[in-house]
């Protein structure tokens, strides 16, 4: 082999190795000993990174406050366009909630990874472990709204009545799509009859047409749209802390709190899977838009699920909740509440045991709710005081339509009714709802079924056992 050939092979080998080296991806290993701060990986949408929260100062020793480490890891991944924050096995104390960011996955080693807030009082935000979005009930009304032409259900386009308002929007922005008509609840909060969260896909500034990522599911004759980062004059909201969280993922982690594990959701297309918790409310808050909850396990003391205003097209499939003697709400609230214009949500394969909790009024209540379904669930609720299933109006503006409760089993104690359908308000609507194929057992103080409305609701094929 002559010297020229040797030099040629050496150069080729070098080029080959260079290509192989630059083209390979580093693999992230889910171990506590990883010292990588960021590892590039490929996805269909954008480059994603994975970090280990311990590389940002988290200890997981059950003593150290880790809130700053979690926030630093979240913010770094968010600054790179999204990715994963890995939390190894350990007990991570947080003295206050940290903010989960858009397009970030928070994952751990299942129940071996515990995020715990030990703050005992006051009950409320000081006890949260994490914010997954943060829109309070008042914040929705504080956003600047722009009038649109009427919208037909199935369309994913809105036409602004004033096309120059298109400059207030950008592609990828989370937006509110709602109606100008609505009602005020007893706390004085404005509740649009249609209240949706969506995302801007395209903007035609010349025509004032905004194309959304998802089709609008119902007719809105008096439609309006609001960017979620622009607020009315005099409102000074920090958009790093007041925001709709887009496409978050949280999985394989346990949360513990003497209050709520999280609140003030405000989430667009969130995915929550294999999460366990010890908390007051299991799933509660505002703004669950196109969210999925799977394999949730909880010890709870107050409520199991209450998705409030701007909650729609979300599912809970597989949830086990058992009562424990913690903080209580003495207002006799339901275990599952569908209200404040919640629409098109479904709950299935739930197993709920309310134990000795003495402050539960109902298993399920529908109030201001549209086209929601609860099916294939098991309720063991010996202390429910009022009703198994209630569909009822709470004022002249109430709308309870198209909801369905089917193929569930209710084991109750000493309650007033198995099923109650009631509308005593002249302007309210409780119509087109179905309660079918369920099995009820337990002692009844009054009667199996009470219907206090002449509207068209279907209550049939249920089994009532003494």
Task: Render 329-379 in DSSP notation, one character per residue.
Answer: -TT-B-SEEEEEEEES-EEEEEEEE-TT-S-B-EEEEEEEEES-EEES-EE
What integer pLDDT is reported at residue 47 of this predicted model? 53
Residues (pLDDT < 70) of the chain are 1-47
Q: Return the structure tokens found at 64.
A: 């150290």
Please say whether the structural domain 138-227 has been given the CATH code 2.40.10: yes
Q: How many residues does the chain have?
A: 466
What integer pLDDT is reported at residue 464 of this predicted model? 96
Taking CA 332 as the corner, what is the angle to CA 327 and CA 333, rounded to the nearest 5 degrees?
Answer: 85
Taking CA 409 as the corner, what is the angle to CA 323 and CA 384, rounded to the nearest 5 degrees?
Answer: 45
What integer pLDDT is reported at residue 25 of this predicted model? 36
**What are the residue boundaries of the structural domains of the chain, listed by start?**
138-227
CB 453 within 8 Å of CB 428: no
Which contiguous run of DSSP H or E holds residue 5? Answer: helix 3-23
Taking CA 464 as the corner, what is the angle to CA 449 and CA 428, rounded to the nearest 5 degrees?
Answer: 25
What integer pLDDT is reported at residue 27 of this predicted model? 33
pTM given for the model: 0.89
What integer pLDDT is reported at residue 36 of this predicted model? 33
Interatomic CA distance for residues 454 and 466, integer angstroms: 28
CB 376 within 8 Å of CB 409: no
Interatomic CA distance for residues 24 and 180, integer angstroms: 54
What integer pLDDT is reported at residue 44 of this predicted model? 33
Q: Return the structure tokens found at 126.
A: 């000081």
What integer pLDDT is reported at residue 459 of this predicted model? 98
């Amino acid at each position: 082999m002559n010297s020229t050939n040797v030099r040629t092979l050496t150069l080729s080998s070098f080029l080959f190795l260079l290509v192989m080296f630059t083209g390979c991806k580093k693999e992230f290993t889910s171990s506590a000993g990883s010292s990588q701060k960021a590892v590039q990986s490929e996805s269909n949408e954008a480059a994603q990174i994975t970090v280990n929260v311990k590389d940002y100062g988290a200890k997981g020793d059950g003593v150290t406050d880790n809130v700053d480490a979690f926030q630093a890891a979240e913010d770094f991944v968010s600054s790179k366009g999204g990715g994963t924050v890995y939390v190894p096995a350990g007990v991570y104390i947080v003295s206050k909630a940290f903010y989960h960011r858009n397009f970030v996955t928070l994952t751990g080693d299942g129940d071996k990874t515990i995020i715990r807030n030990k703050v005992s009082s006051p009950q409320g935000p000081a006890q949260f472990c994490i914010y997954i979005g943060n829109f309070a009930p008042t914040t929705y009304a504080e956003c600047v709204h722009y009038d649109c032409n009427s919208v037909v259900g199935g369309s994913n386009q809105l036409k602004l009545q004033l096309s120059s308002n298109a400059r207030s929007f950008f592609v990828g922005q989370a937006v509110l799509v709602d109606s100008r008509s609505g009602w005020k609840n007893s706390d004085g909060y404005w509740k649009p009859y249609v209240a949706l969260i969506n995302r801007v896909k395209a903007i035609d500034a010349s025509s004032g047409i905004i194309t959304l990522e998802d089709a609008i599911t119902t007719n809105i004759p008096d439609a309006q749209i609001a960017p979620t980062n622009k607020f009315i004059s005099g409102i000074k909201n920090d958009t790093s802390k007041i925001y709709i969280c887009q496409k978050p993922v949280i999985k394989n982690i346990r949360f513990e709190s003497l209050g709520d594990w999280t609140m003030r959701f405000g989430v667009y297309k969130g995915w929550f899977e294999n999460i366990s918790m010890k908390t007051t409310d299991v799933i509660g808050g505002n703004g669950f838009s196109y969210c999925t909850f799977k394999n949730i396990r909880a010890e709870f003391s107050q409520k199991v699920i209450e998705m409030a205003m701007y909650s729609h097209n979300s599912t809970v499939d597989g949830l086990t909740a058992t009562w424990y003697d913690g903080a209580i709400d003495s207002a006799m609230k339901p275990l599952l509440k569908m209200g404040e214009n919640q629409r098109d949500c479904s709950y299935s394969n739930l197993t709920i045991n309310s134990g000795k909790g003495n402050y539960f009024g109902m298993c399920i209540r529908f109030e201001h709710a549209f086209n929601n379904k609860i099916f294939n669930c098991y309720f063991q609720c010996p202390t429910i005081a009022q009703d198994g299933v209630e569909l009822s109006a709470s004022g002249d503006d109430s709308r309870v339509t198209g909801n369905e409760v089917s193929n569930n089993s209710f084991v109750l104690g000493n309650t007033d009714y198995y099923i109650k359908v009631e509308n005593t308000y002249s302007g309210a609507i409780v119509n087109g709802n179905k309660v079918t194929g369920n099995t009820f057992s337990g002692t009844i103080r009054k009667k199996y079924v009470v219907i206090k409305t002449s509207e068209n609701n279907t209550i049939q094929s249920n089994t009532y056992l003494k």
